[in-house]
Amino acid sequence: MQNIVLPILSVVLGYLVVLVLKPKQNKNLKLLLAFSGAFLLSITVFSFLPEVYSTDNNHIGIFIMMGILLQIILEFFSKGAEHGHVHIDKEAVVFPWLLFISLSIHSVLEGVPIHAHDSLIYGIIIHKLPVAIILATFFSASKMSKTKSLLFLLLFALMTPLGVFLSTNFSIIETYFTEISAVVIGIFLHISTTILFESNEGHKFNITKLLTIVIAIVLAYFI
């Protein structure tokens, strides 16, 4: 049940943060992003990756690389929303279908392995929070109608729970569970390392950011 509810709450929380606090593209959001990237990467490396590798499937590595490629392709359409920035036209009033479909494929896929890996849900909701904040910030500044914006966020919130639902109710997904999990590992490796790379602008030394990343790694290790 928490696998269905927590991803939705994460998006709702992101929306409320924007509604109540009206954050600008500021330092705190960058820190939250760095935290989420380091945390997701650590959860992946500490538990998700070894668990999937311990199955008797010989093609894990190939599917991980396919996941990385898939995420690169998805980002041609989402322009990087999964890892923290939106580049669509603020003047646009039509529903951003490409962004939506790209984010949806990503989010449904990441919902599939949740139920079999204990700490994965935390990595996912912590990575979803800044994404929701960024989307909500973009929509509130855009010319998009409130209905379309809310519909977008609502459907976006339901995609990872949809992945959880499909994975626990359809045997075809059970059959390819390990392969899909490996693809999700590739997706996570790509987005989390991109977040860490992009949050480190100019390779300047930033003690707050470094500490944030260390705390995320330590927390992920003990969770």
Q: Is 11 in the site for Zn ion (CB under 5 A)?
A: no
DSSP state of 48: I
CA distances (Å), origin 124, targets 21, 92, 185: 23, 29, 12
Residue number with CB closer to Zn ion (160 or 178): 160
DSSP state of 45: I
Residue number with CB closer to Zn ion (57 or 79): 79
What is the number of alpha carbons within 13 Å of residue 27 lying toward its C-beta? 5
What is the rounded distance in angstroms from the CA atom of residue 155 to the CA atom of residue 126?
A: 18
* Count of residues in contact with Zn ion, rule CB under 5 A: 2
In whole angstroms, how close is the CB of 166 to Zn ion at the nearest point?
16
In whole angstroms, how close is the CB of 36 to Zn ion at the nearest point?
10
Residue number with CB closer to Zn ion (76 or 175): 76
What is the rounded distance in angstroms from the CA atom of residue 27 to the CA atom of residue 126?
A: 17
Q: Is 179 in the site for Zn ion (CB under 5 A)?
A: no
Structure tokens at 1: 């049940």
Residue 97-116 contact track with Zn ion, rule CB under 5 A, x = bound: -------------x------
Identity (one letter) of the amino acid at 197? Answer: F
Q: Is the dihedral of CA 116, 184, 152, 23 positive or negative?
A: positive
In whole angstroms, how close is the CB of 10 to Zn ion at the nearest point?
10
Residue number with CB closer to Zn ion (110 or 179): 110
Q: Is 125 in the site for Zn ion (CB under 5 A)?
A: no
Q: Is 23 in the site for Zn ion (CB under 5 A)?
A: no
What is the rounded distance in angstroms from the CA atom of residue 70 to the CA atom of residue 65?
A: 9
In whole angstroms, how close is the CB of 160 to Zn ion at the nearest point?
7
Q: Is 122 in the site for Zn ion (CB under 5 A)?
A: no
Torsion of CA 222, 161, 103, 19, to 10 degrees: -80
In whole angstroms, how close is the CB of 33 to Zn ion at the nearest point?
11
Q: Is 80 in the site for Zn ion (CB under 5 A)?
A: yes
Q: Which residues bind Zn ion (CB under 5 A)?
A: 80, 110
